[in-house]
Structure 1
Amino acid sequence: MQGNLNEIDLRSILQLIELGQRTGQLLVKTHNFRNSNQTREEVNRHHHSFCYQPQQYWFVFFLNGQILYCQEGDGTSLRINDYLRHYRVETPLNEIQLASIDPLNIKEYSYLWVLLEQNMINPKVARNIMHSLVYETLFDLLGLHTGSFIFHQSPALTPQLTTWEIAPLVSKIAKQLQHWQQLYPHIQSADQVPILSEMVQLNSSLPAETVNKLKHWADGKTSLRQLARYLNRDILTIAKVIYPYVQQGWLKLVYPSTNIFSINTEELVVEVDYKPRILCIDEVTTIGETIEAILQQQGYEVLTLTNPLESLSFVFQLKPQMIFCNITMPELNGYEICAMLRQSTAFRLVPIIMLSSQDSFIDRVRASMVGATDYLTKPLQNTELLTLVEKYINKQPYIGIHKR
């Protein structure tokens, strides 16, 4: 069994494995557009993050239709060590013990079993760590909308400690993903790193104990994902706790690629450098050019896709904060595109504005029925367009950091 995630979602794949009581492993990979010159030209020559996104992959291991384990990439001891911190296991294994792990086996899984055999952890702790790793991996995977998968029937991992039923896990995680989407755009990724921003307001608005906790965890080095592991909580719980502070601007979230780890925080200068991304889907290039000309002067980034069919595969990678979509297009019209996007949790809250050359009551009703946020009549007027964009987009800044 193999295919693409834009043809069948991961939840359905897991259900098929469960119903068939399959034993084996599922490999899920994101697409890698690093060498695609065609993609660069089609999307936007300024959109480097799309063209150079590194490929990720995950393994899910099954026994008779139940999950045995999940691993991200080749597997290292890092994820497990993060959880061991919660259980006060500081120096789990020495070099000799680490060298005893079979390099041909599943590294992370083997690492757990060596910890068990050396009595560094007990079976209850091992099960808790395994459950957390399975949970966080499925949380990432169920949020994917593009990529490929392949399932191989093969002997199960050994030895075996426990298994988990798929349906209850998937149902719980799917609900959490819906809540996770509501935190966007303030919180966008579990890999973002919180840093303190408004110390004066923090000290004047919060108890000293709360401020000290924030100082301890928002150190500019620890991601939300790591915080969840250290505290043995799921990522949604952690995100909800910090969300009010991010909303207030007291905490900022940056990506680990930001080079702040060896910098003294007292010497940092914070610069706002964020352009909300707006996507226009219209086979007529002049419409996109008009929107771009009006909005770029106001600090927005505008990307245009002129092929309706191809736009569906690109839109999940581009992750726009707003979408303009023409109603009348060949092969796939705006109503169909809007309805398809609204089926995804990633785009249930993103403003989608339908474009039409006529102000028709029927068109407005149909647009509303498929989940469109608003309706705009062409030709586009500067003031009307800007008012509409500012109504729906919160220009939450990203943070650039350098030394004084």
Structure 2
Amino acid sequence: MYGNLNEIDIRSILQLIELGQRTGQLFVEARSHNSNKLSVDEVIRQGSWSEFKQQSWYVFFLNGQIIYCQDSDSSLTRIADYLRHYRVQTRLDKVQLAYLETLNAPEYGYLWTLLERNIIQPKVAQTIIHRLVHETLFDLLSLHQGSFIFDLGSAFAPQLTTLEIAPLVTKIMKQVQEWKLLYPHIQSPDQFPVLADITELRSSLPAATVNKLQQWVDGKTSLRQLARYLNRDVLTVAKAIYPYVQQGCVHIVYSSTSTDAQIQKSQQELLQKARIVCIDDTATICETVESILKPLGYEAIAFTNPLEAISRIFQIKPNLILCDITMPELDGYEICGMLRHSTAFRLVPIIMLSSKNAFIDRVRARMVGACDYLTKPFTDTELLMLVEKYLNYSVVWRHNQNVRLVDPIPDRVKDNIT
């Protein structure tokens, strides 16, 4: 079963899976509304890489019930956010984290590791799974554009819990409708609430209210993160803040201003020395890639022989890889799979190149670990937008990992979580 969301919506897809008592996984990919409206210069200048953040989700089923949901950010940041509510301060070492990142569902593996070590109890793990499923379905049921494919398969194992689809969808659909009432003041769970002038607030609001707002509305924490920290759904958190937004006491923005400078600096450093490898058996494509990237300061290295590329790529250590799918001796899927099993290339962005534009090929590319898919022939703008997107996204991803998985839990979170 596969198709477009403008032909059948997520709710109907879930109902069909439930009625058929299907076991397998649903892959959903959202379409970007802004990618065709901005030039490369505008993307960089406006910091619009967040608009191009990979938007895709997996939902795993057993006999028509949901086992688990995973979004496109397969890192452990969501789990780390939820663990703050339970004051779990244990962090895995780098070797353990590196192993988890090789799994198809690292979050799920992380929870099982914590369970096996008696760091958390089964009830806590089940609650976190329920929250992850709820959060993911809230996003999916809000979608109107995109593609999907349901793949029948063996059960996702082991199972921590299962959730019935019908009551869950009914509850979340009601929340999606309520969320629309917050427009235009609050538009996205990924927006950041920021306090207005503190002096003015103290003159118009009770001291206790101002203090509470200061603890949480710091411009560094998104509405979605707040919901995770408090173990609440994002609608409840947004509705609690909404009156202050209406009064002008709290502003809602799309980026965390406290980290913009750090991210921008990291972006500039990376872009100045970015090394990009192109693997394509067509010499014309290799020459095209080099002619587009080299004048902009990138170090572009092309290979027409995939076997030679594999032997050299570990020495070159590129920041991004462009890889053709159809090649003699070794195809792009095989190359991507091999690289993803290497610690050195587990997090390096890989973009597949193909003359086909079939949805099933895009899904297969994602399954072997590719970040994106570029159809040949491509324009200068199309190539540059993807290159900038994933080099910038890589910087932000690493920044978030350092903040959320390495740093200790902030005191304000320990002291104020109820």
Is contact 1:32-1:55 (8 Å) kept? Answer: no
Find the aligned partners of 2:163 and 2:133 in 1 and give their Cα distance. 9
Find the aligned partners of 2:51 and 2:235 in 1 and give their Cα distance. 28
Q: Count how many residue pairs are aligned between Structure 1 and Structure 2.
A: 258
Q: Secondary structure of the equivalent of 2:100?
A: coil
| CA deviations over 1:96-149 (Å, ceiling 9, x no partner) | 433443714311111111111111111000000000000000000000000000
Is contact 1:76-1:107 (8 Å) kept? Answer: yes
Which residue pairs with 2:30 in the alignment?
A: 30
Are residues 206 and 163 of structure 1, via their aligned partners in 2, closer, same or farther at CA, if it must alter by over 3 Å?
same
Does the alignment pair 1:260 with 2:248?
A: no
Give 1:119's aligned amino acid: N
Are residues 51 and 229 of structure 1, via their aligned partners in 2, closer, same or farther at CA, if it must alter by over 3 Å?
closer
- Structure 2 unmatched runs, 5+: 40-45, 262-418
Is contact 1:33-1:51 (8 Å) kept? Answer: no
Find the aligned partners of 2:184 and 2:101 in 1 and give their Cα distance. 43
* Post-superposition offset of 1:50: 11
The farther-off stretch of 137-146 and 48-57 is 48-57
Is contact 1:191-1:223 (8 Å) kept? Answer: yes
Which residue pairs with 2:150 in the alignment?
A: 151
Are residues 175 and 23 of structure 1, via their aligned partners in 2, closer, same or farther at CA, if it must alter by over 3 Å?
same
Is contact 2:75-2:101 (8 Å) kept? Answer: no
Q: Secondary structure of the equivalent of 2:104?
A: coil
Find the aligned partners of 1:35 and 1:187 in 2 and give their Cα distance. 22
Give 1:4's aligned amino acid: N
- Structure 1 unmatched runs, 5+: 42-46, 264-404
| CA deviations over 1:250-298 (Å, ceiling 9, x no partner) | 0001112x543377xxxxxxxxxxxxxxxxxxxxxxxxxxxxxxxxxxx
Give 1:200's aligned amino acid: T
* Post-superposition offset of 1:74: 4.7
| CA deviations over 1:328-364 (Å, ceiling 9, x no partner) | xxxxxxxxxxxxxxxxxxxxxxxxxxxxxxxxxxxxx
Which residue pairs with 1:235 in the alignment?
A: 234
Which residue pairs with 1:165 in the alignment?
A: 164
Is contact 1:186-1:247 (8 Å) kept? Answer: yes
For normalisation by structure 1, the TM-score amounts to 0.60
* Post-superposition offset of 1:207: 2.0
More helix as a share of residues: 2
Are residues 251 and 98 of structure 1, via their aligned partners in 2, closer, same or farther at CA, if it must alter by over 3 Å?
same
Give 1:162's aligned amino acid: T
Is contact 2:3-2:149 (8 Å) kept? Answer: yes
| CA deviations over 1:190-220 (Å, ceiling 9, x no partner) | 0000111132332122221221111111111
Which residue pairs with 1:206 in the alignment?
A: 205
Which residue pairs with 1:392 in the alignment?
A: none
Is contact 2:137-2:172 (8 Å) kept? Answer: yes
- Which is higher, the Rg of structure 1 or of structure 2? 1
Find the aligned partners of 1:200 and 1:162 in 2 and give their Cα distance. 49
Find the aligned partners of 2:84 and 2:51 in 1 and give their Cα distance. 34
| CA deviations over 1:289-335 (Å, ceiling 9, x no partner) | xxxxxxxxxxxxxxxxxxxxxxxxxxxxxxxxxxxxxxxxxxxxxxx
Which residue pairs with 1:19 in the alignment?
A: 19
Give 2:258's aligned amino acid: I
Are residues 128 and 64 of structure 1, via their aligned partners in 2, closer, same or farther at CA, if it must alter by over 3 Å?
same
Find the aligned partners of 1:65 and 1:23 in 2 and give their Cα distance. 6
Find the aligned partners of 1:6 and 1:251 in 2 and give their Cα distance. 36
Are residues 96 and 54 of structure 1, via their aligned partners in 2, closer, same or farther at CA, if it must alter by over 3 Å?
closer
Which residue pairs with 1:281 in the alignment?
A: none
Which residue pairs with 1:190 in the alignment?
A: 189
* Post-superposition offset of 1:180: 0.5
Find the aligned partners of 2:58 and 2:21 in 1 and give their Cα distance. 17
